[in-house]
C-alpha cells in the first residue's frame, strides 16, 4: 500500500483525537490533528497578528506549545470562518494526506473539502453533554481552572460557529460512516473505527 487516507471529522471533544491517534498507531499511518493548524493561527491572532498573514506563515514549529486552552480554541474557531485562512492551510493538509504509507487526518472538513477522495471517512460524534463532560475532565486534569458550565458553553459556541459557517461547515460527508460515541467507552470507539478502516484496506 502506498497512499491511503483516513478522514475523521466531528464536533469538539467527540473523541476524534484519541480515535485518530489509535487508528494511526494500529495501522502504522501518520496522523495530523488539523485543529492544531487553526489553533496555531488563533494563538497568533491573540498576540495581535493578522489571521491571514498568520495562516500563510504557519510552519510545523508553530504546532508545538500549549494550544489546548479554551481561549485558543475559541480564537481558532473564529479564524476558521475566514475563507482566506482556510485556503492558506489546504496545501499543507493535502500534502500530508498524500504522503507515502498512509495518513489519518482529523478535523471538521477533511472528508468534505480537504480529502473528498479519502478511502475511509468517519464522522465521530456524541451528545453535547457527554462531550462537554469529557473536555471538562481533560482540562481539570491539566490543572486548568474551569467550570462544567463554562466548558459546555464553549463546546456549544464552537459547534454552532463550525456548523453554521458558509465555508467548509462541519457536517458528515455523504459517504462518511457515523460513529456516535455517547454510550461507548474509548476501547469500543477505537474498535469501531479500526473495523471501518480495515474494511477499506
Q: Which residues are annotated as a binding site for ATP?
A: 10-18
DSSP codes of every residue in 112-143: III-TT-SEEEEEE--HHHHHHHHHHHHHHTT
Cβ of residue 145: shortest distance to ligand C5P, in angstroms?
Answer: 20
CA distance 93 to 110: 9
Whichever of 35 and 51 has its CB closer to ligand C5P, that residue is 35
Residue window 49-78: x/- pattern of binding to ligand C5P, with contact defined by CB under 6 A: ------------------------x--xx-
The residue behind cell 492544531 is: 36
- Any residues with CB less than 8 A from the CB of 156 and at least 6 apart, and which? 128, 132
Site membership for ligand C5P, residue 44 (CB under 6 A): no
Closer CB to ligand C5P, 2 or 47, in the complex: 47
Contacts of ligand C5P in 76-135 (CB under 6 A): 76-77, 80, 107-109
On whether the CB atoms of residues 36 and 126 are closer than 8 A, the answer is no
Residues 6-35 that bind ligand C5P (CB under 6 A): 12, 34-35
Q: What is the C-alpha separation between 5 and 102, in angstroms, rounded?
A: 6
Binding residues for ligand C5P, rule: CB under 6 A, are 12, 34-35, 38-39, 73, 76-77, 80, 107-109, 158, 162
Amino acid at each position: 500500500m502506498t497512499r491511503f487516507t483516513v478522514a475523521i471529522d466531528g464536533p469538539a471533544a467527540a473523541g476524534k483525537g484519541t480515535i485518530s491517534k489509535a487508528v494511526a498507531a494500529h495501522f502504522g499511518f501518520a496522523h495530523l490533528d488539523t485543529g492544531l493548524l487553526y489553533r496555531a493561527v488563533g494563538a497568533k491572532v491573540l498576540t495581535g497578528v493578522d489571521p491571514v498573514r498568520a495562516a500563510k506563515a504557519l510552519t510545523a514549529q508553530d504546532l508545538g506549545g500549549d494550544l489546548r486552552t479554551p481561549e485558543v480554541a475559541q480564537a481558532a474557531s473564529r479564524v476558521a470562518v475566514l475563507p482566506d485562512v482556510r485556503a492558506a492551510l489546504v496545501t499543507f493538509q493535502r500534502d500530508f494526506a498524500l504522503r507515502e504509507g498512509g495518513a489519518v487526518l482529523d478535523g471538521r472538513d477533511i472528508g468534505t473539502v480537504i480529502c473528498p477522495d479519502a478511502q475511509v471517512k468517519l464522522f465521530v460524534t456524541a451528545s453535547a453533554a457527554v462531550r462537554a463532560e469529557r473536555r471538562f475532565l481533560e482540562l481539570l486534569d491539566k490543572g486548568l481552572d474551569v467550570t462544567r458550565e463554562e466548558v459546555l458553553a464553549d463546546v456549544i459556541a464552537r459547534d454552532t460557529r463550525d456548523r453554521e459557517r458558509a465555508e467548509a461547515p462541519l457536517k458528515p460527508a455523504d459517504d462518511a460512516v457515523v460513529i456516535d460515541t455517547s454510550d461507548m467507552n474509548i476501547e469500543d470507539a477505537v474498535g469501531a473505527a479500526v473495523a471501518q478502516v480495515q474494511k477499506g484496506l
